[in-house]
Chain A
Amino acid sequence: MKFHKKSFYKIKLCIVVIFFCNQLIAQKQEKLDAFSIAIKEKLDLNKSSSFFYKAGMFFLNKEWDSVLVYTARHRNLDKNQNKLKDYNHYLRGYSFKQKLLLKEAKKEYKTISSNFKFSNLVTFRLAQVALEENKFEVAISYLNSIINLPDSQYIYLNKGDVLQNLGVCYLHLKAFDKAEPYLLDFMHYQEKAKDTLGIIAAYGNLANFYYEQYKDNLAIPYFEKAYLLSKSTNDFKKRNNASLNMAVVEENRKDFKKALQYRKEYEKWHDSLNDQNKIYEVAKLEKLFAVKQKQKEVSLLKIENKAKIIERNGLLYSALTLLILLGVTFYFYNEKIKSNKIIMAQKEGLDELNATKDKLFSIISHDLRSSVNALKSSNTKLLDNLEEKNLEALDGLLQNNSAIVNSAYSLLDNLLHWALLQTKQSYFEIEALRLFFIVEQMAYNYKPLMLDKSIDFNNKVLKKDIVLVDQESLKIILRNLLDNAIKFSKPNGKIKIYTTYTTDNFCDLVIEDSGLGMSKNTQNSLLENTIIVSKKENKDIIGTGLGLQLCKSLIQKNNGKLAIESELGKGTKMIVSLPKTTLNG
């Protein structure tokens, strides 16, 4: 019997330890909530010290290794901040404890200063460590120091834990008389707190306590109570333990039938515990599988997404390219239309010019032909007269010939200068010139002609009249204007050349004749920018208009202006405005 009891004792001890451990976990979970709120607040206040903050976050997430790493960093980082230092040590101590590094845990706890906000909690933690190390006396001394604190100090600490731990300690020391009140207190405390699991634990503790002392009468009701209570919970482990305890109890009472029943129940719970574990595992696997499946789906979706993005980008790019292509095509099309328009306009202009040129060409050739023809017939007459030795007629004929040749020459000269002007091959240099001399030189050529027509010519240009022109241009202009003036003058007419100053910076050179004059229409058409061939007004005096056109172009090239003042029958004033020098004004 004694032997039997001994082996039974071992079983009982094992039960106690299981109860005790469960108890601890439950207590911890409950109490941590109160503490973790305090820690969280602390963390929120200290976000700036990042290591501590991280350590705290890991602490709340129960990742102990990370807590140790960051608290170590924090400790190395700043050694001055006392308050955080205590927190830091606490976090480290707690984490070491969780890693079952009891010595380190103890060391950390002990370095926490006594005025730490949670110093009672620290004391309790030290007691726990001592308990783990089986140093029951030490644990008891720690626990005793906090057992009698007023309720206000138990904010972060469960009084039940303290009571239970004290009881357990005494139990281990076999000081049953000291253990009993604590265990009873614990039971009452838990009953008051209405914590079913706690009550079961308390009953279990008491039952074991009595059973240890072979006070079976006292023990069994507690076992039964624990068993009954455990039935109302879902905690398989608790039920398992309670059933096993009952089975052992019944076995010892030799009530094997009941014992077998309990044993079966125990096995059932054990199995369901296992089942549950299996279920958990299966669930875990399923979950893993589901997660994998989800992951696959997600990656599939991602790939699909990628494909879609690529497709969309492709579409976008092709649309853009098309748009650009369209734009470019449109632009070139537009350009083509524009250039076509320009080409058309140019073509029209060219056609017009060509027509004018053809007309000019025909008139010039006609003029030259008639000149040469006149010369031919004149020469025949000349020869005839020479044969007859009619010398007086010879003179007149020669004069006539010379006049014809002169006019033909000036026509050709104009033609040449016109061509040179168009191709811009001619030498052109603007310089200061004294108008008087150029007028004199040009008039010199026409002296015989004017004498012949008895025209009174007067060069009234002053020697000090200086203009800025190209000399050859000026000569051509003067030659043509004089030619015209003589051509359109009646015999005994007057030609006068003089200067006036009507506008700043310009010298107006006026070639005035007392000739036929011209109508406003003719004047305007002469000033227009096209070669207009007029034969209507003066049928016997043919002009191509080339000379005046050349004059206009040259005047323009010399930065001058041409104006005409004329009255039919009274005469014409051709006014050439030329830039003058600022010197000698």
Chain B
Amino acid sequence: MDKVNVLIIEDTPAESNRLIKVLEANNYNVVAVATTFKDGLNFFYNQLIDIIIIDIFLNGNADGISFAETISLNPNGSKPFVFLTSSTDRKIFERAKLTQPFSYLMKPFNELEILYALEMALEKFYEQPDTFLGDQENTVVSKDYLFIKKGKSLKKVQLSQIIFIEVEEKYCNIITEKEKFVILISLTKILKLLDQSVFSRTHRNYIVNTAKIVEIVPADNLIVLSGNHKALLSDTYKSILKTIPTLK
């Protein structure tokens, strides 16, 4: 599991330092702190960023909103973001609200409020509400990552590193090359959110990353995966053989 990469756009060092302190204490990775709109864009396009904290007012202008507007222009390239503001001025909020999805954090804030705001921003951005906050689930699925709530903090796992997923009632065992852990998510939801061309269901309880398949042994109903992991293949899902021609 990796740390979540955060970009901070904030022109007041005292504020950004406080943010860095809180975030790092909660296992977030602060990639950079930008103090201007331009810097912010630079970092955003050149670094791997998972989430951005944007101060609405940069040097007295509402550049923070402009930044959000700019990155939202390309929906595929956009990332979740949280506005940071010290005023509840309605006009500013009305404008900020237009950059959907809209999450904000009011100054002064405490640790819990920051973490809550980040989680909300992720949920809203990936349109999977009530994931981190409810009792039932703890994982948000994006195009490339699983964002998993661990304690007060968030972690992420790259989807391409997952070898297979073993489902156990409400839990899913995620097996990557390096580690093995349990997440809370329903099978139907994860199946819906994962890329069907990469992940295939092979059994009532197994979802396999087809890129990691080493060998399929139909006789034993077995799929051998990289790292010598084995997954089951049931008759119902044998059609998978046709869709993976390269591994005959």
**Which residues from chain A sit less than 8 Å from chain B, CB to CB?**
420, 425-428, 434, 437, 440-441, 444-445, 463-464, 472, 475
Contact = CB atoms under 8 A, between A and B. Distances in A.
A405 B1 CA distance: 42
A444 B110 contact: yes
A445 B106 CA distance: 14
Contacts of B133: 434, 437, 463
B106 A472 contact: yes
Contacts of B89: 425-427
Contacts of B106: 472, 475
Contacts of A472: 88, 106
Nearest to B130: A434
Given A427-B93, A464-B134, A472-B106, 18 more contacts: A420-B88, A425-B88, A425-B90, A426-B88, A426-B90, A427-B88, A427-B89, A427-B92, A434-B133, A437-B112, A440-B112, A441-B112, A441-B113, A441-B116, A444-B111, A444-B113, A445-B110, A463-B134
8 tightest CB-CB pairs across the interface, nearest first? A427-B93, A441-B112, A426-B88, A427-B88, A444-B112, A441-B113, A444-B110, A427-B90
B135 interface: yes
Interface in B34-49: none
Contacts of B94: 427
Contacts of B111: 444
Nearest to A409: B108
21 contacts: A420-B88, A425-B88, A425-B90, A426-B88, A426-B90, A427-B88, A427-B90, A427-B93, A428-B90, A434-B133, A434-B134, A437-B116, A437-B133, A441-B116, A444-B112, A463-B133, A463-B134, A463-B135, A464-B134, A464-B135, A475-B106
Interface of B: 88-90, 92-94, 106, 110-113, 116, 133-135
Contacts of A445: 110
Contacts of B116: 437, 441
Contacts of B92: 427
A475 B116 CA distance: 14
A472 B92 CA distance: 15
A475 B113 CA distance: 11
A464 B134 CA distance: 7
Contacts of A437: 112, 116, 133
Nearest to A417: B88
A264 to B, nearest CB: 132
A446 to B, nearest CB: 10
Contacts of A420: 88
A464 B93 CA distance: 28
Contacts of B134: 434, 463-464
Nearest to A440: B112
A228 to B, nearest CB: 132
Contacts of B113: 441, 444
A181 B172 CA distance: 158
Contacts of B93: 427
A425 B106 CA distance: 16
Contacts of A426: 88-90
Which of B92, B94, B134 has its CB near the most chain A CB atoms (within 10 A)? B134
Contacts of A463: 133-135
Nearest to A437: B116
Which of B88, B89, B93 has its CB near the most chain A CB atoms (within 10 A)? B88
A552 B110 CA distance: 25
A144 B246 CA distance: 150
A434 B132 CA distance: 11
Contacts of A427: 88-90, 92-94
Contacts of B135: 463-464
B146 to A, nearest CB: 22
A428 B93 CA distance: 9
Nearest to A443: B112
A426 B90 CA distance: 5
